[in-house]
Amino acid sequence: MTTITATVDVAGERLDVAVARAAKVTRSQAARLVDDGAVRVSGTERSRSYRVEAGERLEIELPAEPAPPGPEDIPLPVVYEDRWLLVVAKPAGLVVHPAPGHTSGTLVNALLARAGRLPGDAERPGIVHRLDAGTSGLMIVAIDDDAYAALQRMLRTHAIERTYLALVEGTPSASGEIDAPLGRSPRNRKKIAVVAGGREARTTYRRIETFAETSLVEVMPQTGRTHQIRVHLAAAKHPVVGDAVYGRDRKLAARLGLLRPFLHSAKLAFDHPVTGERVTLEEPLPGDLVEALTRARGASTSR
């Protein structure tokens, strides 16, 4: 890891723009550095939209340059595909893109083997939105440059409807919205938390079914922050069952036979960025989550 120290000489610029210039990286790479807590402004973390002042000191931690991902013959469940994009049903346990500790065997490696070339960021080619490694379900991937740019715009303007199913601890209200800014936890840099001055994050939800200790909820993220659903539900005192990072009752997950968070990307709906055709896709719960849900229902009927 390399640390760059630079002094701001242009007042009023956004922080991500200043970082991109100082570190000689792209704007998207700079934004990720800020979001990941790798940038300090005169000793303080700021959001990417923070307006820097002349004379402020930037400390930027640059990760080691990763080798570009290569194609790997990995089975890839594709549920929709055309010349511009595809939608995969990502299995739980599959990491989306190479990162420290996961330099191969990722979804990107599988996509490169299938498509040959992917647009966008060399580190995360084709990736429009991510799913955590432990999350299963539908995920859009661009395979055309114009579609990539259009899908990114659609995601920013909430034109892609994303619906998740989650089993949570306790009984939340019938429906609601969680509006709380997210950023790196000041106590643990590897975790995301609700923090003052963090990035705007909004999540709506609807309770579908209630059991003895848990509830099945439908969750619709209105923004796309790292770990957003998991952190928001935990902040609302109803964490995702099986979430070893943000959950509370690990014994509950064991009783339900869960080895990962009960979180599944169940539905995507959007207007195709090129043809304008309405695309609506649904993916049923995988077997491990079906079994956990059956156990949750059984626990309710036995009481």
What are the catalytic residues? Answer: 132
- Burial 207-221, CB ≥16 within 10 A → b, else e: beebbebbbbbbbbb
Please give the C-alpha separations between residue 125 and each of 30, 86, 230, in angstroms, as whole numbers: 17, 13, 25
Does residue 292 sit in helix, strand or coil? helix
HSE (side-chain half, CA atoms, 13 Å) at 243: 26
The torsion angles phi and psi of 300, rounded to 5 degrees, stand at -75, -45
Taking phi over 0 as left and psi of -120 to 50 as alpha, with beta for the rest, 296 belongs to alpha
Q: Which amino acid is at 10?
A: V
Does residue 107 sit in helix, strand or coil? helix
* Size of the chain, expressed as the number of residues it contains: 303
Question: Do the beta carbons of residue 203 and residue 146 sit within 8 Å?
Answer: no
- List Cβ neighbours of 197 (8 Å cut-off, separation of 6 or more): 46, 47, 181, 183
